[in-house]
Every structure is written in C-alpha cells, then in structure tokens.
Amino acid sequence: MTARLQYSAVYIPVLLVLWFGLFLDSAFVAERMEYSQWLTNGLVFLCFVWVYARATRKIQKLMLYGVGLAYLGEVVFSILLGMYEYRLENVPIYVPLGHCLVYAAVFYIHKEKLIQTNKAVIKSVLYWGMMVYSSLWLIFDKDILGFLCMLVVVLLLKKKTGNELFFLIMFFMVVYLELLGTYYDCWVWPDIWFDKIPFITSSNPPSGISVFYFGFDIACLWIYKKLNTKKWQRMKSLRQIRATRVAS
C-alpha cells in the first residue's frame, strides 16, 4: 500500500509556481508581454499566502524573517557584488518570497513519512547524486565555482547535525530552481566568480550554489532562536526527552 503524502498541498504548488512563474518572467515572454515580471510577482505572492496559511507557527515566523533576510542578501550579492544579475538588473519582488517558499517546501518534503521511513537510503542516493552532478559540471563545463561550493556542502554534512537529509533535499531543490531560472534567462551567472576572479570559472548556474541557501536557512533559524528563546529551549528539552526514551 502506497504511503499517503501528507504535505503535498504545500510543496507541489511551490514546485509548479516556481516553474510557471519563472516562465512568465522569461526573456521569451517579456518580448511578447510588457510587465510580465509583475505577473510572476503576483503569482508567487499568492503561493506565499497559500503556503503560509498551511504552515506551522514556527515555519510562518521563519518565512517572515526570511523575506527581509533574503532581500538583504540579494541586494548584497546581486546588486553590490555582481555575483549574478537579474534580467531587469533589479531584485524582483518574487525572489525573496521564492527563497522562503523553497525553504518551506523542503521542510515539508523532508517531513513526509515516506521520506523519513526510507531516510538512510534517500540520504545516500542524494549524497552521491550531488557529488556526481557537480563532478559532471566540472568535467564538461569547467564549473570550478560549483564544484568548490559542493565540497563546502560535503564538509558541512560531515558535522552530523541530524539535518543532513534536509540539506541534501535543499541541494536538489536549488538545482531545480537555478536550472529553470537560468534556462528562462530570468538571471545569469558570469563565466567567472563575481565576474572578476578569472581562475574560478563558473557554469550558468554553478552546480553547488545551494551552499548559499544553506547559509540563508541557518541565518533564519538563528534569528528564530534569538526572538523565540523560550520556545526554542522547550523544543530542545522535548527532543532530549524523546532521544532518551528511544535510547532506553
């Protein structure tokens, strides 16, 4: 009997909206429809409201913190540092919202009973899949930046925090997002890092760029801890009690 997917109403709309929203903001549509980016902004905003209404209180807070944090990060990395560039040389409204949708989608995919039941196998498949994926981009497209980012991900995963599967799912969610965004020319990555460092070549997109999304996830969680100290301590205590029960 197939396990029921409990949270598909959260992450399937996100996957579909990422695809269709980026298509609407594509260079192809923009040539035929003025202000097409505003259609994407509206669509992603509606999806944000949909997911927010179905999320737990903790995830709702993380999504709200994430909007401001993501916008700040986009201004720094895109506008100020030129790490990548959006089609209209701006930071589209849908982008910070999209970061939070990706976070929520990964959280609920990771939470599915089907995923948790087969956790060890899925983690192994995704881990080796990540390494093969980045290695192929390095071999066939000289993606040094992406490969180096992937190695940083490997080092982070070796810390054994218990969140390895979450971050591996995030890696491939970002692959999905970045391949769509660059295919539709919504944004572009330069051939070298920051368009200034010639010995670190890059694909469009870099294969392991999800490491920056990991930083976003960790920063959102850090803000949550600081603003919700009592709840965080209570949650840690409950986890310790459960771990003790399992061990005994």
Q: Which residues of the chain have pLDDT under 50?
A: 1-2
pLDDT at residue 1, as a whole number: 39
pTM over 0.85: yes
- Using DSSP, state whether 112 is helix, strand or coil: coil
**Amino acid 243: pLDDT:** 53
What are residue 168's phi and psi, to 5 degrees? -70, -40
Distances (CA, A) of 163 to 48, 55, 62, 200: 24, 19, 17, 29
In angstroms, the CA 172 to CA 57 distance is: 26
Return the pLDDT at 248: 53
Which pLDDT tens digit goes with each residue over 10-50?
Answer: 999 999 999 999 999 999 999 999 899 999 999 999 999 99
Taking only the tens place, the pLDDT of each residue in 67-76 is 999 999 999 9
**18-21 long-range contacts, Cβ below 8 Å, gap at least 24?**
18/98, 18/101, 18/102, 18/176, 18/177, 18/180, 19/180, 21/47, 21/94, 21/98
The reported pLDDT for the residue numbered 178 is 98
Q: Residue 240: what pLDDT?
A: 63
